[in-house]
Amino acid sequence: MRREFLPLSKPDIGYGEIKAVTKVLKSGYLTTGSKVTEFERAVCNYLGKDLFAVGLNSCTAGLYLSLVASGIGSGDEVIVPTWTFAATAHVVLWTGAKPILCDVEESSLNIDIQKMKDLITRRTKAVIPVHFAGYPCDMDEILPIAGKNGIAIIEDAAHAIGTEHKGRKIGSFGNMAAFSFYATKNLTCGEGGMVVSNNKRIVEKIRKKSYFGINKKAFNRYNKKGSWYYEIEEMGYKYNMDNIHASIGLIQLKRLRKMIRRRRAIADLYKKNLDVRIRRTKDDSQNLHSYHLFTIAIDKKIISRDLFIKKLKQRNIGTSVHFIPLHRHPYYKRLYKKTCFPVADRVYEEILSIPMFSAMSDRDAYYVIEQINDVLKRLPGRRKGG
Contact status: 193 vs ligand PLP (CB under 6 A): yes
Task: Give the 3-state DSSP-derived string for 266-314, with helices as H, strands as E and coil as C.
Answer: HHHHHHHHCCCCCEECCCCCCEECCCCCEEEECCCCCCCHHHHHHHHHH
Q: Which of 52, 64, 83, 85 binds ligand PLP (CB under 6 A)?
A: 85
Q: How far is the CB of 171 from ligand PLP (least distance, A)?
A: 15
185 catalytic per annotation: yes
User: Which CB sits closer to ligand PLP, 85 or 348?
Assistant: 85
Q: How far is the CB of 92 from ligand PLP (least distance, A)?
A: 12
Stretch that binds ligand PLP, among 65-73, 80-88, 220-228, 239-247 (CB under 6 A): 80-88
- Exposure class string for 165-200: b at 16+ Cβ within 10 A, else e: beebbbbbbbbbbbbbbbebbbbbbeebbbbbbbee
Asked whether the CA dihedral 25, 29, 43, 158 is positive or negative, the reply is positive
Binding-site size for ligand PLP (CB under 6 A) equals: 14
Q: Which of 84, 108, 124, 188 binds ligand PLP (CB under 6 A)?
A: 84
Question: Which parts of 279-298 interact with ligand PLP (CB under 6 A)?
Answer: none
Packing angle of the helix pair 243-273, 34-47 (nearest 10 deg): 30
Contact status: 9 vs ligand PLP (CB under 6 A): no
Residues 125, 152 contacting (CB under 8 angstroms): yes
Residues 256, 21 contacting (CB under 8 angstroms): no
Question: Which parts of 164-183 interact with ligand PLP (CB under 6 A)?
Answer: 180, 182
Contact status: 8 vs ligand PLP (CB under 6 A): no
Residues in the chain: 386
Stretch that binds ligand PLP, among 1-9, 56-64, 307-315, 344-352 (CB under 6 A): 56-64
For residues 123 to 162, the per-residue mask of contacts with ligand PLP, x marking binding by CB under 6 A and - elsewhere, is: -------x-------------------------x-xx---
User: Which CB sits closer to ligand PLP, 177 or 288?
Assistant: 177
Q: How far is the CB of 194 from ligand PLP (least distance, A)?
A: 9
User: Which CB sits closer to ligand PLP, 161 or 203?
Assistant: 161
Q: How far is the CB of 84 from ligand PLP (least distance, A)?
A: 5
Which amino acid is present at 115? K
User: Which CB sits closer to ligand PLP, 259 or 372?
Assistant: 259
291: left (phi over 0), alpha (psi -120 to 50) or beta: left
Contact status: 58 vs ligand PLP (CB under 6 A): yes
Q: How far is the CB of 78 from ligand PLP (least distance, A)?
A: 14
User: Which CB sits closer to ligand PLP, 60 or 371?
Assistant: 60
Q: Which of 69, 78, 80, 87 binds ligand PLP (CB under 6 A)?
A: 87
Residues 116, 79 contacting (CB under 8 angstroms): yes
Beta-bridge partner residues of 296: 280, 352
Q: Choosing from 169, 185, 205, 311, which is the catalytic residue? A: 185
- Please tell me the distance from the alpha carbon of residue 23 to that of residue 83, in angstroms, as a whole number: 40
Contact status: 64 vs ligand PLP (CB under 6 A): no
Smallest CA-to-CA distance from 120 within 181, 182, 173, 76 is with 76
CA distances from 53 to 56, 130, 172, 241, 294 (A): 10, 19, 11, 12, 29
User: Which CB sits closer to ligand PLP, 87 or 369?
Assistant: 87
User: Which CB sits closer to ligand PLP, 98 or 322?
Assistant: 322
Smallest CA-to-CA distance from 383 within 307, 304, 302, 305 is with 302
- What are all long-range contacts of 365-368, with beta carbons under 8 Å and residues at least 24 apart? 365/266, 365/269, 365/270, 366/269, 366/273, 367/2, 367/6, 367/317, 368/6, 368/270, 368/317
- Which residues of this chain interact with ligand PLP, rule CB under 6 A? 58-60, 84-85, 87-88, 130, 156, 158-159, 180, 182, 193
Catalytic center residues: 185
